[in-house]
Structure 1
């Protein structure tokens, strides 16, 4: 593209940015700054001349937006105004996206048929931690519930948490700190109710499996049979050579034999895409802004398609308000879902229907026992329920030394989760090996339990982390570094919990 002009929305941003600078339209300083952006090695003066392609008439055309100007001038003027040119440029619609002599239903069905094999092979399986072989999603999947209010976003004070709080009571809920009282909505019902959905959840809460289930249901014509399911791991998208969602989707469909890009564009222009964007939190920090910007632009252009994004709760700093996304949260498993998962799990791994059902019944009976309440509190997410089933499967009993079970669960959250997902934490946190991570948590727990502090302010725990870091044998001597590092470590711990 050799010339560019601003969109109507972009012109509003341009006028606002120019007013904020306070310079008159005819002020030659605009041209001087733009020239410096184009050729920083030269010295430019108000008297001119200016860099190639820059002039006062060009500047006026840029402000009016009625006719295009050279691309280098357009970008330079945007930089002077501290605007992202990609967000304000006018993008003409694709020319003649519809393949000749084909209606939309024919195109959709053709693409669905070509993509069927790939969807079944790539997304019908799920990999469980500490299980060597992948298992069929349909054999293990349990229908999930959605909370329409994000639990961790609800305001509250420590005094509110302490009200009616009794850690000495027999039914003390150590993990949930009280039951979630809001209404649960079946996951597919939430998807049917919202064309743009942001699904948040804890690590291991089943977000990816939920998206895979939707893709499989769509592919099998059991859900949105008139749409094309397009599953995109955002970490993989971020690694692509060109951060362009349309190009990425076109390439994905081309690998299934959809040769004409015009078919892809036509299908999306008609709102026939079910776009499943998985793992926003797994995108490297260096790429996150660019990925989010690309998603926003794509959603604005192909707004009539259906979009679902998944992300961990603690990493959901991008909430896409301007793209009308509704944020919901995957709920922890209730008793019914735990029972359904356990029955599926033991049948799959016993490889015998009756034997699996019998073992599942034993598991559920023991899980109900008062002495196993703490294990029951642990097994409320798929990842930890899988661990609990795995331990029970070995001896048809829970271990007498429960600390081993909790230690394994802790190791999953501290180490195995990141390894499986390919997540790279901040360098400060990576320097804490598994042993030190456990020692840090024990250090904080010992002090706070000794004080009777079941709830505490962020700055309190940050100071405890800073004290621990300062006492490491290889620690630096600068206290300021400890304070900064403690914030990074606390954020990493928070991300693993939510």
Structure 2
């Protein structure tokens, strides 16, 4: 067996230095060439200290040296034999420790108790391979850069993960002997650390070491009780339970045979943190050949360990969400087939567009477990999404620390009642959301906190004291919950846009005073046409005990929006009149929606978008009623004609002929049919003669186009060129978005009265004049029946 370490002789060092100088490398360059993480072994080599044999040989190879001319070689075989015996003793001791601790490690790390579950389960039954973010190349962004980023492109706030390299967690463990794993609450840090211990225990990872798993909160409590913070003694006591002496422990540590896993640095009580951190530093420096991994919440990292590499837990990818879901539903229940089917349903519903906010929360493992639990209870989570968000906040604010017995600190914030914590976050949410700010500076965030603290009793008037208190509250908010996160230096956001939306909605409906609530709802209607407020409206509809006032305010606002412009009002009048003139087995509002989008100018993005009509009446998805199909064909034909340039080429005219409807029998009016047939005949006649085709078009084309337009308008009352200006087009887009939102809110709310529901359904998309008539007529009818 070869010696386990080598060291350079005085003459060997001189040779190596001359060879090293010729390369022009730095010690960091040489370390990179050798394939080691730090330059410490390089420094030891050049100072004549013993280093690992493999590294020594590799350094000599890279410097083109004969290692036997550089190393101190034994004068006889005695030391070699002694070293072989020593190595054999260490290997035997290692295998003894691994064997005796196998069951202990499996019990300690291989079984997990999930939140709100009746019994523990095997870790492998729910664990999925995790990824981490390489933070060594992390770059800082400033506020202007973040504000330029599109929120949807950042996966609704995962911007810290948008530009960082994603690698396998096990790859990071294998390549870094000293690792600090950072992460938000519930991101899976402890589960990953336990899995590392299990894989090492089973010989699948770092098999030449034995795992020691220490929950740092327990270590701090035990050390505080006996006033001995010596981490080496703590490890020796643990191994002493399997008859391993303190001297044997030191032998193993000196030989680098331990995988030391230190969980939850952020969970250590404040009064013990300095001493615990000191012990970790001393142990990792003295026994630096061992493998060390520490976990800590990302916002609670207050201490920098010199030789440790920082990585951050990555959010779950969708494939990881699928894998976890499949395992969760199958292994946390007894009926395999049934739960496998439920897992499939879960994924199908999670993929629905309306469940995107929940899909974003599911990227956090703890919240994914919560969502799975809620889904299993009701086999759905879209009907009352606000309940999911409320439970998620409750877990992060209180329950996750409570179930693990973690006391964060004894600060002012810790003793602040839960309601005030929620109100503080809600106030920050609504201020920033109304401003359209997804990212906010530390200065502004501290100002929002100070403004809220001033509303509480017994708060100091001194501005400096209040500033310090606000800074302490911000530190606690960041470290304890993971609801607010630092996205870049001095720039913050909510960890999920979903939380900002939910807390904004909560702030609006939280008032117990009816008058204040009504004012909040009336003020809310001005945001109806803004896409980013859509989720807030839907959440508010879920939260309100009665949504009549909100629904009526929303409809009044949409009517007034169009009534303020005479041309837009007349457009709605035409839509209404046209809908009355056709016979179709659809709801009147659906017919109005059909013609609203059918006759708009093609420059509007919603032209001929039938999604609103289909949302009102799904029967439009099947074969259209004859009159609607006729008008649709007429408008499409007109659009093809109007799309031609003033002086079309022969190729464009021929292309028009191919695009015109083949089923001319659909055009039931003879004049329209004759016009279309005439065009097709003429183009066919000149199909092989470009000059004559162009001559005919120049002579008769524009006349034919004008005749067709007038006939479509005369016979079908469609095809008007409304010539809306830019402002009118913008109002139409807003009006359309509002109708979609109003309809969605109506379908989502179970708390709207049948009277108001019927009124809105009847008056949807009506001009304000017709809407008032209908409402007055309905009111008169109810009066006669004694219902009002």
One fold, TM greater than 0.5?
A: yes
Compute the displacement of 1:177 (Å): 4.5
Output the CA distance in 2 between the equivalents of 1:100 and 1:134. Answer: 43
Structure 2 vs 1, CA of residues 162 and 208 (structure 1 numbering), >3 Å: closer, same or farther?
A: same
Which of 223, 235, 253 is the equivalent residue of 1:268?
A: 253
Output the CA distance in 2 between the equivalents of 1:279 and 1:217. Answer: 20
Alignment of 1:304-319 (within 5 A): 304-319=289-304
Corresponding position: 1:248 with 2:234? yes
Output the CA distance in 2 between the equivalents of 1:300 and 1:319. Answer: 14
Provide the residue aligned with 2:162 in structure 1: 180
Corresponding position: 1:374 with 2:357? yes
Compute the displacement of 1:139 (Å): 0.6
Provide the residue aligned with 1:214 in structure 2: 196
> Which structure ranks higher in relative contact order (CA pairs < 8 Å, sequence separation ≥ 6)?
1
Corresponding position: 1:441 with 2:399? no
Compute the displacement of 1:310 (Å): 0.8
TM (norm. structure 2) is 0.48
Structure 2 vs 1, CA of residues 308 and 179 (structure 1 numbering), >3 Å: closer, same or farther?
A: closer
Q: Which runs of 4+ in 1 moved over 6 A?
A: 98-102
Q: List alignment gaps of at least 5 residues for structure 1.
A: 1-97
Given that 2:239 and 2:245 are in contact with CA atoms closer than 8 Å, whether structure 1 keeps it comes out as no
Output the CA distance in 2 between the equivalents of 1:336 and 1:464. Answer: 39
Corresponding position: 1:196 with 2:181? no
Corresponding position: 1:130 with 2:116? yes
- 1:433-455 Cα distance to aligned partner (Å, 9 max, x none): 11111111111112222222322
- 1:173-200 Cα distance to aligned partner (Å, 9 max, x none): 4342486243321111111111111111
Output the CA distance in 1 between the equivalents of 2:292 and 2:191. Answer: 16
Alignment of 1:302-381 (within 5 A): 302-321=287-306, 324-381=307-364
Compute the displacement of 1:476 (Å): 4.4
Given that 1:426 and 1:488 are in contact with CA atoms closer than 8 Å, whether structure 2 keeps it comes out as no
Which of 388, 392, 417 is the equivalent residue of 2:371?
A: 388
Given that 2:161 and 2:314 are in contact with CA atoms closer than 8 Å, whether structure 1 keeps it comes out as no
Provide the residue aligned with 1:32 in structure 2: none
Output the CA distance in 1 between the equivalents of 2:379 and 2:97. Answer: 48
Output the CA distance in 1 between the equivalents of 2:136 and 2:458. Answer: 40
Given that 1:150 and 1:329 are in contact with CA atoms closer than 8 Å, whether structure 2 keeps it comes out as no
Alignment of 1:2-401 (within 5 A): 103-149=89-135, 154-165=139-150, 173-177=155-159, 180-239=162-221, 240=223, 241=226, 242-255=228-241, 257-321=242-306, 324-401=307-384
Given that 1:99 and 1:262 are in contact with CA atoms closer than 8 Å, whether structure 2 keeps it comes out as no
- 1:348-375 Cα distance to aligned partner (Å, 9 max, x none): 2232222221111111111111010000
Output the CA distance in 2 between the equivalents of 1:195 and 1:101. Answer: 21
Structure 2 vs 1, CA of residues 177 and 215 (structure 1 numbering), >3 Å: closer, same or farther?
A: closer
Query: Greater shift after overlay, 419-428 or 244-253?
Result: 419-428
Output the CA distance in 1 between the equivalents of 2:308 and 2:355. Answer: 40
Structure 2 vs 1, CA of residues 272 and 178 (structure 1 numbering), >3 Å: closer, same or farther?
A: closer
Compute the displacement of 1:225 (Å): 2.1
Structure 2 vs 1, CA of residues 154 and 425 (structure 1 numbering), >3 Å: closer, same or farther?
A: farther
Output the CA distance in 1 between the equivalents of 2:113 and 2:386. Answer: 26
Given that 2:212 and 2:259 are in contact with CA atoms closer than 8 Å, whether structure 1 keeps it comes out as yes
Given that 1:470 and 1:479 are in contact with CA atoms closer than 8 Å, whether structure 2 keeps it comes out as no
SS of alignment partner, residue 426 of structure 2: helix
SS of alignment partner, residue 229 of structure 2: coil
Compute the displacement of 1:483 (Å): 2.0
Please identify the structure whose Cα radius of gyration is greater. 2
Given that 1:199 and 1:327 are in contact with CA atoms closer than 8 Å, whether structure 2 keeps it comes out as yes
**C-alpha RMSD over aligned residues:** 2.3
SS of alignment partner, residue 429 of structure 1: coil
Output the CA distance in 2 between the equivalents of 1:260 and 1:99. Answer: 19
SS of alignment partner, residue 311 of structure 1: strand
Corresponding position: 1:423 with 2:407? yes
Provide the residue aligned with 1:78 in structure 2: none
Provide the residue aligned with 2:692 in structure 1: none
Structure 2 vs 1, CA of residues 100 and 156 (structure 1 numbering), >3 Å: closer, same or farther?
A: closer
- 1:64-89 Cα distance to aligned partner (Å, 9 max, x none): xxxxxxxxxxxxxxxxxxxxxxxxxx
SS of alignment partner, residue 413 of structure 2: helix
Provide the residue aligned with 2:717 in structure 1: none
Output the CA distance in 2 between the equivalents of 1:162 and 1:277. Answer: 38
Output the CA distance in 2 between the equivalents of 1:327 and 1:179. Answer: 14
SS of alignment partner, residue 332 of structure 2: helix
Given that 1:196 and 1:326 are in contact with CA atoms closer than 8 Å, whether structure 2 keeps it comes out as yes
Compute the displacement of 1:102 (Å): 6.5
Query: Greater shift after overlay, 220-229 or 408-417?
Result: 220-229
Provide the residue aligned with 1:31 in structure 2: none
Given that 2:254 and 2:287 are in contact with CA atoms closer than 8 Å, whether structure 1 keeps it comes out as yes
Q: List alignment gaps of at least 5 residues for structure 2.
A: 1-83, 486-788
- 1:246-286 Cα distance to aligned partner (Å, 9 max, x none): 1110111112x224221111111111001111111111222
Output the CA distance in 1 between the equivalents of 2:435 and 2:88. Answer: 73
Output the CA distance in 2 between the equivalents of 1:105 and 1:130. Answer: 43
Corresponding position: 1:460 with 2:444? yes
Output the CA distance in 1 between the equivalents of 2:389 and 2:157. Answer: 12
Query: Greater shift after overlay, 181-190 or 171-180?
Result: 171-180
Query: Greater shift after overlay, 172-181 or 356-365?
Result: 172-181
Corresponding position: 1:492 with 2:462? no
Output the CA distance in 1 between the equivalents of 2:417 and 2:113. Answer: 25
Provide the residue aligned with 2:611 in structure 1: none
Output the CA distance in 2 between the equivalents of 1:207 and 1:370. Answer: 30
Output the CA distance in 2 between the equivalents of 1:403 and 1:280. Answer: 33
Compute the displacement of 1:160 (Å): 0.2
Structure 2 vs 1, CA of residues 310 and 357 (structure 1 numbering), >3 Å: closer, same or farther?
A: same
Given that 2:213 and 2:260 are in contact with CA atoms closer than 8 Å, whether structure 1 keeps it comes out as yes
Given that 1:197 and 1:307 are in contact with CA atoms closer than 8 Å, whether structure 2 keeps it comes out as yes
Compute the displacement of 1:299 (Å): 1.2
Which has more helix, going by share of residues? 2
